[in-house]
Amino acid sequence: MLEGILIGLQTAFSLQNLLMVIAGCLIGTFIGMLPGLGPMSIIAIMIPVAISMGDPSAALILLAGVYYGAIFGGSTSSILLNAPGVAGTVASSFDGYPMAQKGKAGKALTIAAIASFAGGTIGAILLMVFAPALSSVALIFHSAEYFALMVVGLSAIAAFAGTGQVAKAMIMTLLGLIMATVGEGALFNMPRFTMGIMDLQSGFGFITLAMAMFALPEALFLVLKPKNLQGEEGEIKDLRITRAEAKAIAPVIGRQSLQGFFIGVLPGAGATIASFLGYAVERNIAPKDEQEEFGKGSIKGLAAPESANNAACTGSFVPLLTLGIPGSGTTAILLGALIALNVTPGPRLMIDEPQIFWAVIMSMFIGNLVLLILNLPLIPYIAKILSVPRNYLIPFILFFTLMGAYIGQNNATELLLLVGFGICATALKFADYPLAPLLIGFILGGMMEDNFSRAMQLYDGIGFIWERPMTLGLLVIATILVVLPSYRARRAKARAEGVAEGD
Amino acid sequence: MALDRWIALILLGVCLAYGYAAWFTMDANLAPFMRRNPIWPSTFPKVLSVLAIITTLIVLLGFEKSEAKEAEIDYRRLADYHLVQALVLLALMVIYALCLRPLGFLFSTSAFLILGSYTLGERKWHVLVPIALIAAIGVWYLVQQVLGIYMRPLPGFVGV
């Protein structure tokens, strides 16, 4: 491990990669602050830039920097304007905004920065410990298990989608898998479902789909319903926190970093759930008199979601780097970018290309440090971006989505596909269909089918499912994950209606 | 019927068409030697189509009740929002896609940015036009010179 850390430091401390971290964090903070633009849109827009750099470590470092920056920027707008830019920072506005209203905006931002830093750093340390262990287990996996593992991952994403949403999330996942079968597969040299259209021969472009699913609907929502970006013109000052306050939030940060990390590891959970859960847990275990403070500007209530969401972001890298299975929309986009750069994340990554693995982990430390040093003094100035008029902002966002899709494929048909899918995605968003499962399904689809075919060929039929106990076990888990939420909802409903339980 | 179930109906149609293609049209022109393979190009799509049809039916028939949530935008009152602006912007994007090659990058992009801002209500031409031109030229320079991806800058009939 020490050797790996040294390799990582060597790679991450090259001038180019240091600049990448700084640039990524700054870009992420700037754009993440804008309400309505989440980390997924920003990363989707940054992908063409990252891919054309050609160096996978640098690309991943840049994108990871953008990711942390976006989460951090999102908390800034939650605190100052009560307008979270990212779902993962909604919980930060519960206590952050009341603090800002009381004129303690500077203090709130400092606490957010420190909590994020601690969450991210502790998360990175845990990642360093857990990822190698998990990937050494994953090395004994067979393609049958990989297939089953992907099924588990996809069903977990559907299962965590929330009450009444499981079937919708499953539809979106299956739709993503279906879209992945369009074009020529790797195992069969034969075009499928192209309807004779030449432009579909190579399948749908992943960047086009990512833009259409996230960036375009968010931009359209901003057009349809303008958000009031004008905050109170208050001076941001008094960034210091007292020793007593630091003492009060230290255990909160420690607990929530651990909890957030493990929630982030679960597929489908991610930063949003981690931050809400972190907030709820801290409120429940706080002493009585402090519980009253929650929601009115409690420093603990701000520190908890902030450290939890950053730790969860780091945690979501564990399944990506060790199994090659993304647990969230953001890591799915990162996976797509890595595949485009000819790097396949998975258990072999640590053995074949340790410099990428360790450089990413090291860059997490550097990125967190950069965010702390760079953003604390710059926050009052960075917050000025919130006054960019939306008349300029929206055309530029739309233009960047178009450009991203065009550069990826150099094909104008791709732009029409982008607009078409974007309209579909907006309609799906109206009807409350989750969009991330579609993209995750789309990205995993190809790999899943390859592993499925390989297992079928090795066992000459479907027999691998019952001949390999581990595969069977994983598939059973997947079924339970999908069926359990609807069963429990049904039972809760039956109980509410006064029907006796027939145990 | 609520929008989510209408969408489920449409998706059911898509899945049925997909399933039809997978079950009935794909295997006919399979090479004879591939028929001995345990897995055919249509195997995975067949499984997917069945699963997808089942789940769309679950949503369509309302087996899974979801509590009504406060949506960010209520689609039933879509006309209350800035719908016209959104539609014009989408139309502009389509026109941009069609014009990018024939009219060249610089003209299409600056026109898109100017018209986009104009649609959203910007009337300060002395700010708007320079920003759009600088952005168009700047992005073209970045893509062409730094990233090395060719994009035709000027209209086709001018040359280049």
b/e map A78-117, b = 16+ CB within 10 Å: bbbbbbbbbbbbbbbbbbbbbbbeeebbbbbbbbbbbbbb
Q: Please name the residues in contact with A11: beta carbons below 8 A apart, sequence gap of 6 or more.
A: A17, A57, A355, A356, A358, A359, A362
Put simply, whether A19 touches B (Cβ < 8 Å) is no
How high is the pLDDT of residue A37? 66
> pLDDT band for position B146 (50/70/90)?
low
A403 interfacial to chain B (CB closer than 8 Å): yes
Beta pairing partners, A191: A184
pLDDT digits (tens, 9 = 90+) for A168-227: 888 999 999 999 888 876 666 777 877 777 777 777 877 788 788 877 888 888 888 776
Say if residues A152 and A477 touch (Cβ distance below 8 Å).
Answer: yes
pLDDT in tens, A96-148: 888 877 877 778 888 888 888 888 889 888 988 888 888 777 777 788 888 88
pLDDT tens per residue across span B96-122? 988 888 888 888 889 999 999 888 888
Closest residue in A to B50 (Cα) is A174
Q: Of A397, A333, A366, A305, whose CA–CA distance to A5 is shortest?
A: A366
Put simply, the chain B residues between 110 and 129 with a CB less than 8 A from any chain A CB are: 112-113, 116-117, 120-122
Query: Which residue(s) pair with A192 in the sheet?
Result: A183
Torsion of CA A190, A192, A197, A199, to 10 degrees: -80
Which of A139-148, A400-409, A467-476, B11-20 is the least confident region? A400-409
Per-residue pLDDT tens over the stretch A454-496? 888 888 878 888 888 888 988 998 888 888 777 776 677 666 6
pLDDT at A499 over 60: no
Whether residues B45 and A168 touch (CB distance < 8 A) is answered with no
Spell A394-416 as b/e; 16+ CB within 10 A means b: bbbbbbbbbbbbbbbbebbebbb
* Other C-beta atoms lying within 10 Å of the C-beta of residue A371: 27
Q: Of all helices (H) and strands (E), which one includes residue A184?
A: strand A183-184
Tokens read off for A298: 């409690």
State pTM to two decimals.
Answer: 0.78
Distance separating alpha carbons of residues A106 and A80, to the nearest angstrom: 9
Please list the alpha-helical segments (H only) found in A82-205.
90-101, 105-138, 143-159, 166-180
At A442, the pLDDT band (50, 70, 90 cuts) reads confident
Secondary structure (3-state) at A182: coil
Are B94 and A416 in contact (CB < 8 Å)?
yes
What is the pLDDT confidence band of residue A503, given thresholds at 50, 70 and 90?
A: very low
Q: Is B33 on the interface with A (CB under 8 A)?
A: no
Give yes or no for residue A232 having a pLDDT over 50.
no
Rounded to an integer, what distance in angstroms lies between the CA atom of residue A221 and that of residue B84?
A: 13
**Per-residue model confidence (pLDDT) at position B10:** 92
Give percent of chain A with pLDDT exceeding 90: 3
- Residues for chain A: how many in total? 503
pLDDT tens track for A28-83:
887 777 665 667 777 877 887 887 777 888 888 888 888 888 888 878 777 877 76
Q: What is the Cα–Cα distance from A38 to A136, expressed in whole angstroms?
A: 34
Quickly list DSSP for B28-89: TT--GGGGGSSS-TTHHHHHHHHHHHHHHHHHHTT-S-------SS-GGGGGGSSHHHHHHH
Residue A178 near residue A163, CB atoms below 8 Å: no
**Residue A331: burial class (beta carbons within 10 Å; 0-12, 13-18, 19+):** buried
Q: Domain residue spans in chain B? A: 3-66, 80-158
Whether the per-residue pLDDT at A306 is higher than 50: the answer is yes
How much is the pLDDT for B9?
92
Maximum separation of any 2 CA atoms in chain B, in Å: 70
Place B53 in a pLDDT band, splitting at 50, 70 and 90. Answer: very high
* Residue ranges of B 126-155 with Cβ closer than 8 A to chain A: 131, 135, 139, 143, 147-151
Better-scored residue on pLDDT, A270 or A23: A23
Percent of chain B whose predicted confidence (pLDDT) is above 70: 88
Interface of B with A in 78-107 (CB under 8 A): 78, 81-83, 85-86, 89-90, 93-94, 96-98, 100-101
Tally of helices (H runs) and strands (E runs) in chain B: 5, 0
Percent of chain A at pLDDT exceeding 70: 87
Helix (H) or strand (E) holding A191: strand A191-192
* A402–B contact, CB cutoff 8 A: yes
- Report the candidate in A164, A197, A171 with the shortest Cα–Cα distance to residue A182: A197
With an 8 Å Cβ cutoff, are A419 and B94 in contact? yes
